[in-house]
Structure 1
Amino acid sequence: MREALIVWGGWSGHEPEECAAVIKDILEEDGFKVRVEASTEAFADPAVHDLSLVVPIVTMSKIEKDEISNLAAAIESGVGIAGYHGGAGDSFRDCVDYQFIIGGQWVAHPGNIIDYRVNITKPDDPVMQGIFDFPYTSEQYYMHVDPSNEVLATTTFTGDHAHWIDGVVMPVVWKRRYGKGRVFYSSLGHQAKEFDVPEMRTIFRRGASWAAR
């Protein structure tokens, strides 16, 4: 049986505990044995190396050196990592090693909660099969992203809330490698209710399954 670790914490506005419960249900439905922890200390546990998947849900927090070194080594050796929104894309602003793993870092969400569109760029990818461009209401993430990411979906900024980014096409969903480990990220999912959006939930479910070894 594949085993997964969910670690939640950080800024409460992203409802990390509630989202951890949602993701636990998703993973268990897909046959994972799931452990949930509320401290980044779990990343330092040697048992992380035996997992199939890690899901961080920690926004604007801190990670200790022993925690990131152990987590990075585990992923480099083949443990998968899957994350979303600020829980993975704005976790540890002062930890470039973590940002190197994820492949991106949040910068801004101009206009806060707005209506925007998600455009599927790789419809033949198994994560995206049967999913078409869809409207979305949430924070539209503007991010610094790694050019080595394999981008599966994007969004285009209008400039209504920051005129200098009018027309910028920004990755929304990507996958990548970190050593032998698979990394999946989606910027969708500001709060737990967004998992009720079928496209968002399906993308995360498939992405997490792809990332898991």
Structure 2
Amino acid sequence: MRALVVRGGWEGHHPVESTELFRPFLERNGFEVRVETSPEVYADAAVMAATDLVVQSVTMSEITADQVEGLRRAVAAGTGLTGWHGGIADSYRASSDYLQLVGGQFASHPAKAPHERAGDETDNFVRHDLRFTELGRRHPVTASLDDFSLTTEQYWVLHDDLSDVLATTTHAAPPWHPWARPVTSPAVWVRQWGRGRIVVTTPGHDLEVLRHPAIRTIIERGMLWASRTASE
């Protein structure tokens, strides 16, 4: 089994440290791990054809048409794709083809009340719940996990109906934000693209969140499920 870790982009999401957190898990499960620091590798058809799992961890940045087409072609042929937080859901903002592939795009992370803000990244750390859907309670990626709460960035995600949502989070409608009613966003979803499986986990802003037992379980199970080394 071969895993390709593609990491880089905005350093605030710790692409090196976060992917290294999961490298031992991949190796224990029989993966030979290759690391690249650019999506250029996606355009290499031979490399992609030999890859069982792509772990995408590039926040923002850019991707060329041939690179995103190489990724789409590989996933359609059966390569798994997974990632967390901005490393997959806030990547390559200018590429609609990438957005269509992963099925969800970060739009915002609503903030604390103005009087609680300190002027740093913690202004967007709000306590929120992740609730599993009916599908999520039986899907191999999330089965047996209970609803839980986090205090970190809560992703507001733009999404489509091709994804199978395993967990959701609901954004409240406090008076300091302009929306008039609570809004529910997918927090974890899976997606079939041709013969390939995609798993997106939106929590994961920093190592503390990635070490949360439920988040780590979801990501690790997602790696195995996307690469078809786990059961249906």
Same fold (TM over 0.5): yes
Q: 1:152 aligns with which of 155, 166, 179?
A: 166
| Kept in 2: contact 1:153–1:172 (CA 8 A) | yes
Deviates more, 1:186-195 or 1:160-169: 160-169
Q: Which residue of 2 aligns with 1:28?
A: 27
Query: Could you report, residue by residue, the CA deviation over 1:154-206 in whole angstroms, capped at 9, with x for unpaired residues?
Result: 01111235251632111100001111111110101001222210000000111
C-alpha offsets along residues 117-143 of structure 1, whole Å, 9 cap, x if unaligned?
110112111111221000111110001
Q: Give the unaligned 5+ runs of structure 1.
A: none
Gaps of 5+ in 2: 112-123
Runs of 4+ in 1 over 6 A off after TM superposition: none
Of all paired residues, the percent bearing the same amino acid is 41
**Separation (CA, whole Å) in 1 of partners of 2:27 and 2:35:** 12
What do residues 29-81 of structure 1 show as CA deviations (whole Å, max 9, x unaligned)?
32211111111112122211111100110001000122111111111111110
Contact 1:20 1:36 in 2 (8 A): no
Give the whole-Å Cα distance in 2 for the aligned partners of 1:3 and 1:141: 30
Residue of structure 2 aligned with 1:186, choices 201, 207, 214: 201
In our comparison, the structure showing a higher alpha carbon Rg is 2
Whether contact under 8 Å (1:117, 1:136) holds in the other structure is yes
**What is the aligned partner in structure 2 of residue 81 from structure 1?**
81
TM-score (norm 2): 0.88
Q: Does 1:64 align with 2:78?
A: no
SS in 2 for 1:164: coil
How far residue 26 of structure 1 moved from its aligned partner, in angstroms, is 2.4
Cα drift, residue 22 of structure 1: 1.0
* CA RMSD in angstroms, aligned pairs only: 1.2
Give the distance between the partners of 1:204 and 1:165, measured in 2 at CA.
33
| Equivalent residue number for residue 90 of structure 2 | 90
Aligned-partner Cα distance in 1 for 2:108–2:158: 10
Q: Distance in 2 between matches of 1:183 and 1:199?
A: 19
- 1:99 maps to 99
For normalisation by structure 1, the TM-score amounts to 0.95
- Take 2:42 and 2:21, find their aligned partners in 1: how far apart are those partners? 21
Residues of 1 paired with 2:148 and 2:59: CA distance?
26
